[in-house]
Amino acid sequence: MQVAIVDYGAGNLRSAEKALAAAAKDSARVIVTADPDAVRKADRIVLPGVGAFAACKHGLDSLPGMVEALEEAVLKQGKPFLGICVGMQLMASVGVEFGTHKGLDWIKGKVVVLDPADKSLRIPQMGWNDLKLAHVGHRALAATRNGDHAYFVHSFHFVADRSQDVLATVEYGGPVTAIIGRDNLLGVQFHPEKSQQVGLTLLASFLKWNP
C-alpha cells in the first residue's frame, strides 16, 4: 500500500511522514510528494498543513494539476483521505482568515476565527484536549475512545453545515470541531503526529480503513 503525503510547501511534513510510517509498521510505503501523478497512484492520501488558510490554499493551487488529481483520486475513485489541521480546514467550502477564500468544498462548512465568549480562554488553543465522539463505531476511528486526549494548535475552526459530518468535538468555550468526515473523507483539527499513542492509533486505523 502506498500513502501519499501532499507536499505543497506548508510547513514540516517530516513528523507526519514519521508518524504514518510508525503507525503502518511496514504495511505501507509513505511518500512525501508534490507530484499529482504520485497522488493519483497512491492508495491513501494525507493532506497536512500549518499556517494560514489562504496561504495553504494558495500553495495547493500553485502545484499544477494537484487539486484535479486530489479530486479524481478522492472524490471520483473514493480513496481514503485524511486532512490534518489546516489540511482538514481546506476541506471546507470557504475559509474566513485574512479575507474570504474558497476551500476544496468537500465538506460543506466554513472555517472561522476561534473566539470563545470566555475571554480567559487563550487563542490559539494550544495543548491537549479530550475528544467527545459524536458517532461511536465509525470505522476510521475504530480504536479512538471517547475522552482520548489529542494535541491542538489552532486559532480558526471548522463550522460544518451538517451536524452528521462532525465526528468529534472538544470543549473550548463551546463545542469545537475536532474530527469531520463523510464517506471516504476524514479530517482532524488536531495533530495526530504529535498526539503520542492516541495519534498513532488513529493513523493506524486510517491506514486499515476501507470506506
Interaction of residue 195 with other proteins, rule CB under 8 A = yes
Q: Binding residue for other proteins (CB under 8 A) from 158, 172, 190, 206?
A: 172
Site string for other proteins, 116-135 (x = CB under 8 A): ---x-xxxxxxxxxx-----
Interaction of residue 171 with other proteins, rule CB under 8 A = yes
Amino acid residing at 163: S
CB of 108 to other proteins, least distance (A): 26
Contact 112, 157 (CB under 8 A): yes
Contact 204, 150 (CB under 8 A): no
Interaction of residue 153 with other proteins, rule CB under 8 A = yes
Burial state string for 113-148 with b = 16 or more CB within 10 A and e = fewer than 16: ebeeeeeeeeeebeeebebebbeeebebbeebeeeb
For the question of residue 58 being annotated catalytic, the response is no
Q: For residue 79, what is its C-alpha cell?
A: 480513496
CB of 157 to other proteins, least distance (A): 13
Q: For the chain, how far is it from start to end, CA to CA, in angstroms?
A: 15
Interaction of residue 149 with other proteins, rule CB under 8 A = yes
For the question of residue 85 being annotated catalytic, the response is yes
Among the listed residues 59, 104, 99, 63, the one whose alpha carbon sits nearest the alpha carbon of residue 81: 104
Q: Binding residue for other proteins (CB under 8 A) from 5, 47, 52, 180?
A: 52
CB of 53 to other proteins, least distance (A): 11
CA distance 197 to 187: 18
For the question of residue 56 being annotated catalytic, the response is no
Amino acid residing at 201: T
Residues facing residue 158 across a β-bridge: 111
Site string for other proteins, 56-95 (x = CB under 8 A): ----------------------------------------
Residues facing residue 82 across a β-bridge: 46, 186
Interaction of residue 193 with other proteins, rule CB under 8 A = yes
Residues facing residue 157 across a β-bridge: 112
| Catalytic residue chosen out of the listed positions 17, 85, 101, 157 | 85
Binding site residues, other proteins, CB under 8 A: 11-12, 14-15, 18-19, 22, 50-52, 119, 121-130, 149, 151-155, 170-172, 191, 193-196, 199-200
Query: What amino acid positions are annotated as catalytic residues?
Result: 85, 191, 193
